[in-house]
Amino acid sequence: MLTARFNGKEIQLAQQDGLWVPEGIHQVDIHPISDRRFHLIANNRSYDVEVLLMSAAEKRITLNINNRIVEVVLSDAFDRLLHDLGMDKAVSHKVNNIKAPMPGLVLRIEVEEGAELAPGDKVLVLEAMKMENVIKSPGSGKVKQILVKPGTPVEKNQVLVELE
């Protein structure tokens, strides 16, 4: 069983036609628009969904659903067991750099070189499709070099910040 936590709520997910959907959702139809955008119909309601950020290591996904940003954290039975045993905080994820998840324009840099980052720390703000997207650190590390400045246009997967 997979659990999703967002907006302070925890919901159970069940697999349906190869998709993980909230329990109680019976009719699901999904159509990909691009590699990160989808049109979803669930229980006769329409949703435009865009994947903004995805961290497989943290099982964390940031979605834009009908122009509303939602961060979803997934957990399975193993994750819950580690949490119950107090071992979930023992694993620290180290990253080498932070990349742009989408093309856009750097609006603000929220860190300085030499700063220590923890998972989830705000690194910079990227404007994409007229929306401000906060780029957060996916893991632990020390800022070695900031490769962009405010006003810099960036491409998807371009390295923005190098970490030690």
Domain that holds residue 107: 92-164
Domain co-membership, 82 together with 12: yes
Domain co-membership, 76 together with 106: no
Overall number of domains in the chain: 2
Query: Domain boundary residue among 40, 73, 91?
Result: 91
- Give yes or no for a contact between 36 and 27, defined as CB atoms under 8 angstroms apart: no
Return per-residue pLDDT of the chain as tens, 164 residues: 788 888 778 888 887 777 787 887 877 888 999 988 999 888 888 999 999 988 877 788 888 999 988 888 888 878 778 777 776 665 555 578 999 999 999 999 999 999 998 888 899 999 988 889 999 988 888 999 999 999 999 999 999 999 98
Domain co-membership, 87 together with 99: no
DSSP string, 92-107: --B-SEEE-SSSEEEE
Domain co-membership, 74 together with 118: no
- pLDDT in the model for residue 140: 82
Query: Domain boundary residue among 42, 70, 91?
Result: 91
- pLDDT in the model for residue 126: 94
